[in-house]
């Protein structure tokens, strides 16, 4: 419980650091995409939203799941790897396919409602970070825009996961378990359709 309560404080401190840095006069960094826009990217970009929902659902499904410092680290590491690959590697179609693949895997686990180990869950958080990071939008590749996009995506993602995992402590009622499995099935089906469309109409 203590680990769960520390995460919002960590997010708040990161946000204050960001505000302090961006409050300084930096005339060369005139951005059309603001921090708020980047903060919402994990939930407004469809390829990011699907795996985010799937991993959030599977985390909620686990009775002992916690959004602690290690989970936050794995998510942040995944975001860093994903965004670095997007900036420095030519991922082309791969960046679009990886996210729904994670959604298919996690959504399928939710649908079958099998308990998973903490290690597998942490790997899912890292994979989620990579999936989101490779699909983030950047105005340019300078360090400031890179850091802003990374921080915003981390805060947006960890907040959604925290709310999904901890709001109204996971219930044991049958309707709750069935509801989670149904939502997992829908995410699974949507992700399968996205993969099919991407493979049929490659950009």
Distances (CA, A) of 120 to 87, 109, 115, 124, 127: 28, 11, 10, 6, 10
Q: Which residue has the higher pLDDT, 115 or 160?
A: 160
Percent of the chain with pLDDT over 70: 72
Q: Which of 59, 68, 62, 65 is nearest to 3 (CA)?
A: 68
Q: What is the pLDDT of residues 94-109, one digit of tens each?
A: 567 888 899 999 999 9
Average pLDDT, the chain: 77
Structure tokens at 195: 């993969």
Q: Which residue, chain included where needed, has tokens 């089906």?
A: 189
* pLDDT attached to residue 52: 92
Lowest mean pLDDT among 39-43, 69-73, 139-143, 161-165: 139-143
Cα 40 from Cα 106, distance rounded (Å): 22
Cα 74 from Cα 10, distance rounded (Å): 15
Q: Which residue has the higher pLDDT, 116 or 74?
A: 74
pLDDT at 1 over 50: no
Q: Which residue has the higher pLDDT, 112 or 118?
A: 112
Confidence of residue 68 (pLDDT cuts 50, 70, 90): confident
| Model pTM score | 0.75
Q: What is the pLDDT of residues 141-190, one digit of tens each?
A: 678 888 888 998 999 999 888 888 876 555 556 777 888 889 999 999 99
* pLDDT attached to residue 117: 82
Query: 3-state DSSP call for residue 80?
Result: helix
* pLDDT attached to residue 23: 41
Q: Tally Cβ neighbours within 10 Å of residue 129.
A: 28
* pLDDT attached to residue 38: 79
pLDDT at 28 over 60: no
Residue 192 CB-half CA count within 13 A: 9
How far from each other are the two terminal CA atoms of the chain, in whole angstroms?
46
């Amino acid at each position: 419980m203590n680990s769960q309560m520390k995460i919002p404080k960590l997010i708040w401190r990161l946000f204050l650091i960001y505000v302090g840095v961006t409050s300084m006069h930096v005339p060369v960094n005139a951005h059309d995409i603001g921090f708020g826009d980047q903060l919402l990217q994990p939930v407004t970009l469809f390829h990011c939203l699907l795996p985010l929902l799937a991993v959030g659902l599977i985390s909620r499904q686990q009775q002992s799941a916690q959004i602690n410092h290690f989970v936050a680290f794995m998510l942040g590491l995944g975001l860093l790897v994903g965004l670095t690959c997007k900036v420095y590697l030519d991922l082309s179609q791969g960046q679009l396919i990886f996210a729904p693949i994670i959604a298919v895997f996690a959504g399928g686990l939710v649908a079958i409602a099998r308990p998973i180990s903490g290690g597998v869950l942490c790997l899912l958080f890292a994979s989620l970070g990579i999936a989101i990071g490779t699909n983030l939008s950047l105005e340019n590749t300078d360090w400031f825009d890179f850091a802003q996009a990374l921080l915003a995506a981390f805060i947006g993602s960890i907040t959604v996961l925290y709310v999904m995992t901890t709001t109204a402590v996971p219930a044991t009622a049958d309707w709750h378990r069935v509801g989670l499995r149904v939502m997992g099935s829908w995410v699974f089906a949507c992700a399968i359709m996205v993969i099919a469309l991407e493979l049929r109409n490659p950009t």
